[in-house]
Amino acid sequence: MSEDLDIASADDLFGQPAKRRYSVVGPLPVLGKRVRIQSLNELEVSSFQAATITQAGGGLNRDRLIDANRRLISLCLVDKDGNRIIGKTQFPQLAQWDAADTQYLYDECAKHVGIHKGDIEDLAKNSDGTPAVDSHSA
């Protein structure tokens, strides 16, 4: 190993305020518009992933799995000033978008924040043996 490697210290890792990364992606396959997405911090990604599991530990929550794409899109999609532009109240509208656009956005957001293809599926596999629960019954 070379002695010239630039190994990070604790000061390098924690000495500066966290910064968001931004990217403009698109055009969306159907809408034809470009959008701006932001990175998420580790807590936001972990919270997003954990939201697919029921709080009572009873297994996967179908409603949260169904909303997973929309939740990630809403966390990442921002305006030019970095303000989120989609909230939970707009999920029903987002659910009606053409799936080509929402899948494109989900894939771009996931790649930008470091969620690998299949992470949600892995959560599901790791929860095998516990029943899926609808939020209406949880």
Where do the structural domains in the chain lie, given as residue ranges? 18-120
**pLDDT for the residue numbered 63:** 74
pLDDT tens for residues 99-120? 999 999 999 999 999 998 765 5
Sheet holding 77-78, edge to edge: 22-25, 35-38, 77-78
| Section 18-24 average pLDDT | 94
Residues near 9 by Cβ (< 8 Å), separated by ≥ 6? none
What would the pLDDT profile of 26-85 be if each residue is shown by its tens digit? Answer: 999 999 999 999 999 999 998 988 886 655 555 666 777 788 899 999 999 999 999 999
Per DSSP, 23 falls in state E
Quick check: pTM over 0.95? Answer: no
Topology adopted by domain 18-120 = rbstp2171 (3.30.2220)
- Closest by alpha carbon to 51, among 60, 41, 40, 38? 60
pLDDT at 116: 83
